[in-house]
Structure 1
Amino acid sequence: MRFNDTRSLLLATAAAVFLPSAAFAQEADDTLPEVVVTATRIPAIVADTPGARVIDSATVEQRGAVFAADILSDVPGLSVTRSGAFGGVAQVRMRGATPGKTLVLVDGAVVNDAAEPNGAYDFSGFDLGDIERIEVLSGPQSSLWGSDAIGGVIAFTTKEIDGVRAEAEAGSYDTLRGRLAGGVANDAWALGGYVSRFVTDGISVADEANGNPEADGFENTTVGVRGRYAVSSTVELDGSARWSQSEADLDNGFPVEDNDDRSESEQWSGVIRSSVEALGLDHQFSVSASDIERQTFSAFGSVFEADRQSYRWQANGETGAAVYAFGAEREESAGSISTGDSVSLGTTSVFATGRYQATDALSVTGGLRFDDTDDFGSETTGRLSAAWDVGAGFTLSGAWGTGFKAPTVSQAVCDFCFSSQPFPALRPETADGYEAAIGWRSADGRIEGRATVYRLNVDDQITYIFDPLTFDSYYVNIAETATDGVELEGRAVLGGGFDLTLAYAWTDARDESNGRRLARIPEHAASGTLGWTGDRLSAALTVRAEGEQNDTNAATPAVLDGFVTANLNAAYALTDNVTLTARVDNLADERYQQVLGYGEPGRSAFVGVRLRY
């Protein structure tokens, strides 16, 4: 599908975001729940929190999403690209910021790859089977979480399981998937575990349309455990751990073509936390850690390993119309570089955030954080937001915030750098962003929508440059980028068991030094899901569209065509405990690329069974 056709669909989707009531609204008992986000450190209502979204496990199940990359692209303002299906590197760009500027948390543990040149996280093997909810905070969030949160934060929370769950699925490309989970949960304690296995022969990672027929397989195993114990009425202990291993066949080169390259990765993360009520405050003491090892087998094979540890104390309190949290953190990270050496970085931080309910209709939230890095000085960041209920279901909200990102391990030592002169001294990247939103919720609670406009500026962006005259290459603070955007989103409970979710984003992300559009960020993107739930049968149709986009930041970048894809997911409950499932991905067999040279699967189908006791 060419760009003009894609744009027409995108604009139609945008126009429909706030109009579902006129076309579909009928009498129904169901209403949309008032969603709460917790990655803000103090619980906040999503509708009152600029840039906040929540994806719960019911939504993941409704859409048949297997891995995180399958559903994150439905969030307006997030651009998800994969260097090939089934195991190709999957990265997220939030509001035009580069992938290393998205902070990723699992149960509060930072899992960003400290050995990746930009500190970015690879979502390709992130299985969603044990995930209860995904919280997305767009815009600078350094006042909450420190470095790496310039574009925003994606926080995953794992499930607490009560009973037994099992699932099996098979389908196209000799794909097999299985999940098994079990646990016990009550008021006093909980303990549960989970294992998932995914195996596929896959497709050619290099685009088959360019004469690359060799299939590239992918395997992933994920294991998780979560527990909780109430020591007394004022003391509780909880913890979780998650381990994942992936093996993927790869295709590389310029141009990308079939070869025998492959990769292996192993990662784990975990957190241990104690919650204590004392001195009129709820105190949380936690220790979290994550570790990743990735190895590439090719003509230029490599091995990289990275780890992080965080030590955090946070106290939450409430006084009259104010709720607040404050605390301190120490984070230490280490990553290997191309020479095999390991380099360590560290940051000590203090933070505070609070919300004041000025009137029944107006609330104001503010946050301040001081980060003292071991190697790059200190940074103070802040964020201020407000929400005003103006009546008739409308809410006005806005936010302004700042962010920073310290140089990564690779940047700090200038890995893969060559120069006869001393390398430039690097300083942290900084950012500021602001946004304004108007939201509306119907009186019967069945329809809601929000429109957001924003600006994100990034200064002193660290860039790897190469001088063709001297053959020098190194990192330097030179780039300045800016993103202007509009995000539209809406949800509705319709008559006859139908529900509708719509999202649209216009993103103008550019390099301020030359005015060029940034790579792998479509100007227009939209998605819509129409779901239906009956007595035993349920189904959901998801349509996703992206306009054309640049694939490089060069003077003459490659331009990838826009595309539209559709997925259909269905479930039939044989009994209260047994459900049959079926899904078809890429219904129209669309041929497209998200990254130049890497193809995506055509039409594919899968059937399965789900057991719950």
Structure 2
Amino acid sequence: MRNELIASAATAALLLAANAASAQTAAAVTDPSLLDDVVVTANRSAQPADRVGQSVTVLTAETIEASQAVGVADLLIRTPGVTLSRNGGLGSVTSLRIRGAEADQTVAIIDGVKLNDPSGTGGGFNFGNLLVGDIARIEVLRGAQSTLWGSQAIGGVVNLVTAEPTEPFQANIAAEAGSRGTTYLRGAIGGAGERATWRLAASHYNTDGFSTFARGTEKDGYENFGLSGRANIRIVDNVSLDLRAVYSNGTADIDGFAPPLYAFGDTRETSQTKELVAYSGLNFDLLDGRFSNRIAYAYTKTDRLNENPDQTVTPVTFDSEGENRRIEYQGVFDIRDGWTATFGAEREESEFTSASPSSFTPNPTPATAEAAINGVYAQLQAEVAPGLTLTGGVRRDDHDTFGGKTLGQAAVAWALNDGSTVLRASFGQGFKAPSLYQLYSDYGNTGLRPEEADGWDAGVEQHVLDGALILSATYFARETTNQIDYVSCPSTATPAAQPLCFRNGVRRFGYYNNIALSEADGVELAADYEIGAFWINANYTQTNTENRTPGANLGRELARRPKEAANLTLGYVWPFGLSTSVAVQHAGDSFENASNATRLKGYTLVDLRASYPINETLEVYGRVENVGDEIYETTRDYGVAGRGTFVGVRARF
């Protein structure tokens, strides 16, 4: 192993004419909405960062490119407050948690469309199939944000924006290859004219992979094909039409429970996921541009099919389809300098179909259901004194099953000392109705109650050394009632003692139920330093979670939430143009289950990256992932990638 490590490090030193420096060499972004000192997600309109009271991390195009990340989740886990658990490699179920909230309590948005999957377990979004592709900007908004973003935004919001051209003609292409038979191809073309802006992008990723089962020997591969497109047509000076779409088709080899003992191990099972995201919006400005309006229709569809050729009666083990339709209006009115009102109304309709065939029930009756929710919201942001910005908002949701709920939110941002010191604090409420899957699937419970949360945070951001060093510290806390969790049924269950373990007289493996109360609090620390050719980014998060429900698990930590997480990246741009960096990611111990009976040990991963711009058009890059060949688990019994070496080339035209 030592020789392999030396060989990989030597290879990295030679080929790492690569990417970490691309943060320095990439072309400047002229669109102000893509700058890191502007925040869009917090207020659903572009605002200077020092006027935003919520905690936000912005990843710009340069940062994304420099990371050389393939999966979006691998980018997000390096930001404060974010942890994940994954059932194998890329393409497998990936649960993203912000500040210790459940994975389905995070809202994901791409190009203005909410990415929830009504057929998913919690109705949330599985980040496993989301590759970086043509994404040019990511904002991670932490804390309860349901006032503007609706149901699910208890932990936070992840907003993803695909690239938009700024020149009459632009094109780029990238290709990389490396360990485990991996190849990744990406390309895009587009242009910006006086009346129209458009861009089309495509990608293909393929890998032989590694065993999804941690102790398995069979390789589990993954293939993903992606397309995205966007167009903005300016009909007249103050009226424009937005059209956007993102499509992906991913097939992953997975491991499961094989006969005759039905123990978890190597199988030939596959999981295919097709995802379509579509958006059309009409934008029109009134009152000399002071009053911006948007009327939009958004649509998502997720098809999932799992098949096991060794299952004799039927190869299908899981089949589901989820659709979501959203009609919305949003207005942004500049009342006066420093005062902005944001308001809107939306209707969301969801439906799902789900079935889990097996050798025992090869033709089960699919579970089907639908639900709708109407919402209205309003928010006022006002600079009441020089540098002091107050934000307050309210939302009213009306769910066709669970009735109405009113939520509130407030935030303050105070920029002092010419903006070198920024104080922030916010309070927000969250509300999430049970998903259709949690209510009506084979594991459903129609007696579930909606989840509700109150969260707050307070922090300070300090710029020193003429802005070369930025330090920040934030304390956060959240209390969630009626949190929904999966409860396993023991083989000894009886209808009298555990009636929810039985449906139509047949015992089932488990069901969903409410936890009365859970709590989370912690601290987020971050530092960014750049001096000359040297730069450093670091963050540390401590997250304390606790189940406060009376019973056997009272006082236990919530499952799969590392108490500590830290990231460190050191980079240097050499005088001859080569950029090199080392990235360290650490996650502390966590527990696999609610009873805290099984511990998942912490781990530390080290990556090496480099890039070299041959000229203004062409750049070569490379990286070594998991240099120490660390073996670890984010989910019990599921494998992780070992050491891997990758090289690539990028071209811009």
TM-score scaled to structure 1, two decimals?
Answer: 0.90
8 Å Cα contact 1:42/1:323 also seen in 2: no
Tell me the equivalent position of 2:48. 45
Alpha-carbon deviations, 1:144-178, whole Å to 9, x = none? 11101111111111111341111111110111111
8 Å Cα contact 1:565/1:588 also seen in 2: yes
Deviation (angstroms), 1:466: 5.3
Tell me which moved more, 383-392 or 589-598: 383-392
Tell me the equivalent position of 2:601. 561
Deviation (angstroms), 1:478: 3.5
Q: Distance in 1 between matches of 2:192 and 2:558?
A: 48
Deviation (angstroms), 1:389: 2.4
Q: Distance in 2 between matches of 1:507 and 1:193?
A: 40
Does residue 285 (structure 1) correspond to residue 295 (structure 2)? The answer is yes
Q: Distance in 1 between matches of 2:63 and 2:264?
A: 35
Tell me the equivalent position of 2:528. 491
SS in 1 for 2:220: coil
Equivalent residues in 2 for 1:414-425 (5 A)? Answer: 415-417=442-444, 425=447
2:268 to 260, 266, 287: 260
Does residue 224 (structure 1) correspond to residue 241 (structure 2)? The answer is no
Does residue 469 (structure 1) correspond to residue 476 (structure 2)? The answer is no
Tell me the equivalent position of 2:617. 577
Q: Distance in 1 between matches of 2:132 and 2:55?
A: 23
Alpha-carbon deviations, 1:60-115, whole Å to 9, x = none? 11111111111111111111111111322111011111111111111111111111
Tell me the equivalent position of 1:11. none
1:551 to 592, 615, 622: 592
Equivalent residues in 2 for 1:424-573 (5 A)? Answer: 425-442=447-464, 444-465=466-487, 468-470=493-495, 472-473=500-501, 474-495=511-532, 497-513=533-549, 514-534=554-574, 536-554=577-595, 556-573=596-613
Tell me the equivalent position of 2:254. 250
8 Å Cα contact 1:131/1:156 also seen in 2: yes
8 Å Cα contact 1:132/1:158 also seen in 2: yes
Q: Distance in 2 between matches of 1:163 and 1:127?
A: 22
Q: Distance in 1 between matches of 2:633 and 2:448?
A: 35
Does residue 306 (structure 1) correspond to residue 322 (structure 2)? The answer is yes
Alpha-carbon deviations, 1:213-237, whole Å to 9, x = none? 1111100011011111111111111
Q: Distance in 2 between matches of 1:239 and 1:533?
A: 39
Tell me the equivalent position of 2:19. none
8 Å Cα contact 2:188/2:202 also seen in 1: yes
Deviation (angstroms), 1:454: 0.8
Does residue 269 (structure 1) correspond to residue 313 (structure 2)? The answer is no
8 Å Cα contact 2:526/2:539 also seen in 1: yes
SS in 2 for 1:149: coil
Deviation (angstroms), 1:445: 2.1
Alpha-carbon deviations, 1:436-484, whole Å to 9, x = none? 1011012622221210001111001223445623253344434311001
Seen in structure 2, the aligned counterparts of structure 1 residues 440 and 204 have a Cα distance that, compared at 3 Å, is: same
2:429 to 402, 415, 418: 402
Tell me the equivalent position of 2:80. 76
Deviation (angstroms), 1:316: 0.7
SS in 1 for 2:484: strand
8 Å Cα contact 1:50/1:437 also seen in 2: no
Q: Distance in 1 between matches of 2:581 and 2:193?
A: 33
Does residue 370 (structure 1) correspond to residue 400 (structure 2)? The answer is no
Gaps of 5+ in 2: 1-33, 356-364, 502-510
Deviation (angstroms), 1:319: 1.7
Name the % identity.
Answer: 32
8 Å Cα contact 2:36/2:59 also seen in 1: no
Q: Distance in 2 between matches of 1:66 and 1:152?
A: 23
Q: Distance in 2 between matches of 1:578 and 1:256?
A: 47
Alpha-carbon deviations, 1:412-435, whole Å to 9, x = none? 336425xxxxx6633311100111
SS in 2 for 1:272: strand
Equivalent residues in 2 for 1:193-232 (5 A)? Answer: 193-207=200-214, 210=215, 212-232=216-236
Aligned structure 1 segments of 4 or more residues deviating by more than 6 angstroms? none
Alpha-carbon deviations, 1:538-571, whole Å to 9, x = none? 22221100111111112x5211111110112211
Amino acid at match of 2:376: V
SS in 1 for 2:65: helix
Tell me which moved more, 97-106 or 247-256: 247-256
8 Å Cα contact 2:211/2:218 also seen in 1: yes
Q: Distance in 1 between matches of 2:340 and 2:600?
A: 48
Amino acid at match of 1:432: D
Amino acid at match of 1:590: E
Seen in structure 2, the aligned counterparts of structure 1 residues 34 and 198 have a Cα distance that, compared at 3 Å, is: closer
Tell me the equivalent position of 1:182. 189
8 Å Cα contact 1:406/1:427 also seen in 2: yes
Seen in structure 2, the aligned counterparts of structure 1 residues 465 and 565 have a Cα distance that, compared at 3 Å, is: closer
Q: Distance in 2 between matches of 1:464 and 1:214?
A: 30
Seen in structure 2, the aligned counterparts of structure 1 residues 465 and 129 have a Cα distance that, compared at 3 Å, is: closer
8 Å Cα contact 1:135/1:156 also seen in 2: yes
